[in-house]
């Protein structure tokens, strides 16, 4: 079984905890649950026939937790980047979260699924983030990650109704598995080249 550490990131109140709880099968709770620094959960799943165990770190979005969050990014191989479609500020803050993730995880750029949450409330608000805005942002993000060998993806969800919650985790898992596989191949290739170079150097030294 492959263990994947993932983080849920985004501003406070965008629905990260509700998404996690829905994915874990605990249903939707209407009241807002303040995450104290970070919450941790695990769930086993299957990605394209492979068994995976998600280590899910739900990171608090409030500014007072900025310093606390940094340690929880270490070793993460992907993220659900969540914003609330009824709060444009949470959308415009997404670059901050990407920078925080890539700076502190110890791996650099890793796969991200951009999650536009609370779509069930879009029609109730006059000021919302459109699907086109989310897709355009994700396309720009992919231009940064494609040289690393992976794309980023956009999905719309509702933790209240459960729409696309499973799909968001599956999409992230598939992307991470491709990313990890590519890293392993690159590592094996580099190791083989180093061994070949070392052997060549030893042969060269014996000649003289």
Q: What is the CATH number of the domain that holds 111?
A: 3.40.50.300
Q: What is the pLDDT along the chain (208 residues), one digit of tens a residue?
A: 899 999 999 999 999 999 999 999 987 776 656 677 888 999 999 998 999 999 999 998 887 777 778 899 999 999 999 999 999 999 999 999 999 999 999 999 999 999 999 999 999 888 999 999 999 999 999 999 999 889 999 999 999 999 999 999 999 999 999 988 877 666 554 445 546 555 665 555 555 5
The pTM is what? 0.85
Q: What is the pLDDT of residue 191?
A: 46
Cα distances from 158 to residues 20, 59, 120, in angstroms, run 12, 19, 6
C-alpha span between 91 and 156 (Å, rounded): 13
pLDDT at position 143: 96
Q: Which residue has the tokens 């980047």?
A: 81
Distance CA 66, CA 80 (A): 18
Residue 121 · residue 85 · CB < 8 Å: yes
The boundaries of the domain holding residue 44 are 2-207
Closest CA to 116 of 105, 131, 100: 131
Residue 151, classified by CB atoms within 10 Å of its CB into exposed (0-12), middle (13-18) or buried (19+), is middle
Q: Distance between CA atoms of 193 and 86, rounded to whole angstroms?
A: 52
Q: Which of 64, 61, 151 is nearest to 101 (CA)?
A: 61
How many domains, the chain? 1
Enumerate the H helices of 24-164 as residue ranges.
66-69, 88-92, 94-104, 131-145
């Amino acid at each position: 079984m492959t263990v994947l550490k993932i983080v849920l990131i985004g501003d406070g109140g965008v629905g990260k905890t509700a998404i996690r709880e829905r994915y874990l099968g605990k249903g939707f709770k209407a009241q807002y649950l303040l995450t104290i620094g970070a919450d941790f959960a695990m769930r086993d799943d299957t990605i394209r026939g492979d068994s995976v165990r998600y280590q899910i770190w739900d990171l608090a979005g409030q500014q007072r937790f900025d310093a606390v969050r940094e340690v929880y990014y270490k070793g993460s191989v992907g993220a659900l980047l969540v914003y609330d479609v009824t709060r444009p500020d949470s959308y415009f803050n997404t670059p901050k979260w990407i920078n925080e993730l890539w700076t502190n995880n110890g791996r650099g750029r890793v796969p991200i699924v951009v999650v536009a949450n609370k779509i069930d409330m879009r029609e109730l608000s006059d000021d919302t983030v459109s699907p086109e805005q989310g897709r355009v942002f994700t396309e720009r993000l992919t231009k940064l990650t494609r040289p690393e060998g992976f794309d980023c993806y956009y999905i719309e969800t509702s933790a209240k109704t459960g729409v696309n919650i499973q799909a968001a985790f599956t999409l992230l898992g598939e992307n991470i598995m491709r990313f990890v596989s590519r890293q392993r191949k690159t590592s094996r290739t580099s190791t083989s080249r180093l061994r070949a170079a070392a052997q060549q150097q030893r042969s060269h030294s014996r000649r003289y």
